[in-house]
Amino acid sequence: MIKENLPINKEVLKWARESKRLEIDEVAHKLNQSPDTIREWESGTSTPSYPQLERLAYDVYKRPLVVFFFDEAPQEKNLKTDFRTLPEKIVDAFSSDLIKYIMEARDKQFVLAELFPKGNPSKKFLLTQFKSDKSNPEKTAHDLRDFFNISFEIQKSFKSPEEAYQYYREILAEYGVFVFQYPMNRDETRGFCLYDENFPVILISSKEDEVSSRIFTIFHEVAHLIFQTSGITTWNEQIGFRNKQSEEIEIFCNKFSADVLVPKSFLLEHPLVKGKKGKSWELSELKKIAKELNVSIEVIFRRLLDLGRADKKEYEAYRNHPYPKRKVSGGPTYAVKTVAQLGSSFVRVVLNNLYSKKITPYQASSYLKVKANNIGKIEAIVFA
């Protein structure tokens, strides 16, 4: 039988390998092929079979299959373009670990683009439907609460910060923004977002011990997306290292996130605040207010400081106090960890495409980064 060559673009094959900084020998080893075979594919002398192309696309290069049939290689943004509001020296200092997760975020954007070739499917897409006032973070936060229908009743109904965190991830996905979480070094970043006019994504550090702090980071990154730019949240809130544009955006993002989660009207009318004399706070008082809205004590403390109801030295002393390490016994199963990383919404999107036969089981397992025989375990969690 004569093998039929696939109409793929040899230049895209080479681009996909080089964009991942892989040598031909490495690709050959991953596919159990000879280096000469890979060279033949990239020269156009021959092409991989369809199953081989699937492995190349999803396992090795982490690219949508359709890319290899393009007339030319896609033009990807470099890091300095993505994070254009940051000083170049900051971007140049990104660790290899952070760059790895930025590439992971780009991969998720490619997957979403392949699953939704006509663009973001959300009927009320945040980036096109939400109108913001970029000069007024408080008003923008108030408008976003209305847009997402986040009421005090909803916030108070959550049984834990974990439940609130999952709710906010789900609602953002409903409005076209997927939130993923990975074990990024929290000393370098609490999270970041990659802007895209169709498929913006947010990545949160799962090493942030307080889940309520992850919630704050989510809305900080939402603010960056409202500015139509990628952004990164660092552990140290000092912003003097940023240029003027970046500094102004960061101030807005911090204020916006705090206003979304703890509106001024709620805080000033809270019995503990309304009846407070002086600016000194007991930790138990702050904790009680924070627990009501499932936010961090730091957010409450910061809001009180901004409103002139807390002492700056006390706030800084609290913030500089090291957070206690969480005591972890055992760990989640692989399936639970996968759903936590990808988010239930993204997993359901992949599985629904599988059930409707829009993608193959091989594609689904590659998108979820699990073996095909583990898909059932993932399904049991998200459709429980």
Q: How many helices (H) and strands (E) does the chain have?
A: 22, 4
State the Cα–Cα distance between residues 70 and 7, nearest whole angstrom. 10
Q: Give the predicted TM-score (pTM) of the model.
A: 0.85
Residue-level pLDDT at 324:
55
Residue-level pLDDT at 1:
40
Residue-level pLDDT at 325:
53
DSSP letter (8 states) at residue 83: T
Question: CATH second-level architecture of 10-75?
Answer: Orthogonal Bundle (1.10)
Maximum alpha-carbon separation in the chain: 88
State the Cα–Cα distance between residues 334 and 336, nearest whole angstrom. 6
Residue closest to 266 by CA, chosen among 296, 301, 292, 284: 292
Angle at which helix 244-261 crosses helix 137-148, to 10 degrees, equals 50
DSSP letter (8 states) at residue 194: E
197-250 pLDDT tens trace: 999 999 999 998 889 999 999 999 999 999 898 988 876 554 445 666 677 888
Q: What is the DSSP string of 53-81?
A: HHIIIIIIS---GGGGGSSS---PPPHHH
Regions of the chain where pLDDT drops below 50:
1-2, 238-240
Residue closest to 384 by CA, chosen among 166, 213, 85: 166
State the Cα–Cα distance between residues 141 and 139, nearest whole angstrom. 5
State the Cα–Cα distance between residues 367 and 16, nearest whole angstrom. 17
Could you tell me where the beta strands, DSSP code E, fall in 141-242? 178-182, 191-194, 201-205, 231-233
State the Cα–Cα distance between residues 110 and 354, nearest whole angstrom. 17
The H-or-E segment that residue 168 falls in is helix 161-174
Residue-level pLDDT at 173:
97
State the Cα–Cα distance between residues 226 and 131, nearest whole angstrom. 9
Residue closest to 269 by CA, chosen among 287, 251, 292, 253: 292
Residue-level pLDDT at 96:
84
Residue closest to 257 by CA, chosen among 207, 202, 314: 202
- Residue 294, Cα to own-chain centre: how many angstroms? 20
Residue closest to 219 by CA, chosen among 266, 180, 169: 169
State the Cα–Cα distance between residues 281 and 347, nearest whole angstrom. 43
Residue-level pLDDT at 2:
46
Residue-level pLDDT at 198:
96
Residue-level pLDDT at 126:
96
Residue-level pLDDT at 330:
58
Residue closest to 319 by CA, chosen among 382, 376, 238: 238
Residues sharing a CB contact under 8 Å with residue 191, sequence separation 6 or more, in sequence order:
184, 202, 203, 204, 205, 208, 214, 217, 218, 220, 221, 232, 233
Number of residues that this document lists for the chain: 384
